[in-house]
C-alpha cells in the first residue's frame, strides 16, 4: 500500500493489539441464560454462535412477536452482562508484540489511529490505559457507543468523521471475520492479522491482505 494514500488506520482491539483474557464462553452463557429466562418461547440459543449473532436472533424474535418497544431495554440488559464479564478480565489484557511500536510509528508518520471494538468503552479505555496505548489513539468507537456496532459500518463512518478522512484513505486491521465484514460494509480496505482465531487461508478467501501481526504493518505501509 502506498503511504500517501493511507491517512488513518482503524484497529480492532482484542487479539489485534492486545491478547484478551475475557472468557467469551462465560459471556455467551450469561447472555443466553438471561434471554432464555426472559423469553422462554424463543427456544434455546446456540452457545457456539458469537454474542452479536445471539443478540441479533433475540431482537429478530422480539420484532416477530410484536415486542419491538422492549428491544432497547433488552439490549441494555445484554450490554450490562457483557460489560461485567469484560471488566472482570480487563486488567489481564497484554500487548501483542510490536503493537505499541506500530502505533508509535503510525503517529510519527502523521497517520491517525482509531479503535473500533465490540468491547464496551470502559473495558476499552482500561485496556488501552494499562497497556500504555491511550496517548497513541485519536478516536475510539466501542460497543456501547452505538445500537449498531460492527459489522454494521455506522461506527466506521463516525470514526472517519472524527479523524477527518475519506473511505479511500482508511485501512482497517483485525483478526476476525466480523472485522473484515465491517470493512467491506464500509467500503474501506482491510488487513487481516493472524494473532486471533483466523487462519491465513480464511482471510485470503475474502481477498484481504494478510500479515502475521500488527508488528508487520509499518513495513506493509512502507513507513
Question: Is 183:190 a contact under the CB 8 Å cutoff?
Answer: yes
**Rounded to an integer, what distance in angstroms lies between the CA atom of residue 214 and that of residue 144?**
25
Question: Is 192:171 a contact under the CB 8 Å cutoff?
Answer: no
Question: Is 31:81 a contact under the CB 8 Å cutoff?
Answer: yes
Q: What is the CA radius of gyration of the chain?
A: 18
**Rounded to an integer, what distance in angstroms lies between the CA atom of residue 183 and that of residue 151?**
8
Q: What is the pLDDT of residues 162-218, one digit of tens each?
A: 999 999 999 999 998 889 999 999 999 999 999 987 776 666 666 678 899 999 999
Q: Which of 220, 216, 173, 170 is CA-nearest to residue 198?
A: 173
Peptide bond into 151 cis (omega under 30): yes
Q: What is the pLDDT of residues 22-79, one digit of tens each?
A: 999 999 999 999 999 999 999 999 999 989 899 999 999 999 999 999 999 999 999 9
pLDDT of residue 42: 93
- DSSP string covering 159-196: HHHHHT--GGGEEEEESSHHHHHHHHHHT-EEEEESSS
- Cell numbers of 129, please? 490505559
Burial per residue of 194-216, b for 16 or more beta-carbon CB atoms within 10 angstroms, e otherwise: bbbebeeeebeeeebbbbebbbe
Question: Is 188:6 a contact under the CB 8 Å cutoff?
Answer: no
At residue 3 the predicted structure's pLDDT band, cuts being 50, 70 and 90, is: low
Amino acid at each position: 500500500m502506498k503511504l500517501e494514500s493511507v491517512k488513518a488506520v482503524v484497529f480492532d482491539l482484542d487479539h489485534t493489539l492486545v491478547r484478551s483474557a475475557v472468557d467469551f464462553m462465560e459471556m455467551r452463557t450469561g447472555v443466553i441464560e438471561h434471554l432464555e429466562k426472559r423469553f422462554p418461547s424463543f427456544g434455546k440459543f446456540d452457545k457456539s454462535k458469537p454474542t452479536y449473532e445471539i443478540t441479533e436472533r433475540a431482537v429478530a424474535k422480539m420484532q416477530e412477536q410484536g415486542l419491538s418497544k422492549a428491544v432497547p431495554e433488552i439490549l441494555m440488559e445484554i450490554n450490562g452482562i457483557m460489560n461485567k464479564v469484560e471488566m472482570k478480565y480487563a486488567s489481564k489484557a497484554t500487548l501483542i508484540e510490536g503493537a505499541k511500536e506500530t502505533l508509535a510509528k503510525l503517529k510519527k508518520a502523521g497517520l491517525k489511529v482509531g479503535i473500533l471494538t465490540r468491547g464496551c468503552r470502559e473495558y476499552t479505555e482500561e485496556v488501552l490505559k494499562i497497556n500504555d496505548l491511550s496517548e497513541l489513539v485519536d478516536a475510539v468507537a466501542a460497543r456501547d457507543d452505538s445500537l449498531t456496532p460492527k459489522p454494521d459500518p455506522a461506527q466506521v463512518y463516525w470514526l472517519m468523521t472524527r479523524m477527518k478522512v475519506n473511505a479511500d484513505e482508511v485501512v482497517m486491521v483485525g483478526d476476525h471475520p466480523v472485522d473484515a465484514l465491517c470493512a467491506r460494509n464500509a467500503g474501506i480496505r482491510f488487513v487481516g492479522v493472524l494473532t486471533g482465531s483466523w487462519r491465513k487461508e480464511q482471510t485470503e478467501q475474502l481477498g484481504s491482505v494478510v500479515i502475521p501481526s500488527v508488528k508487520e504493518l509499518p513495513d506493509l505501509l512502507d513507513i
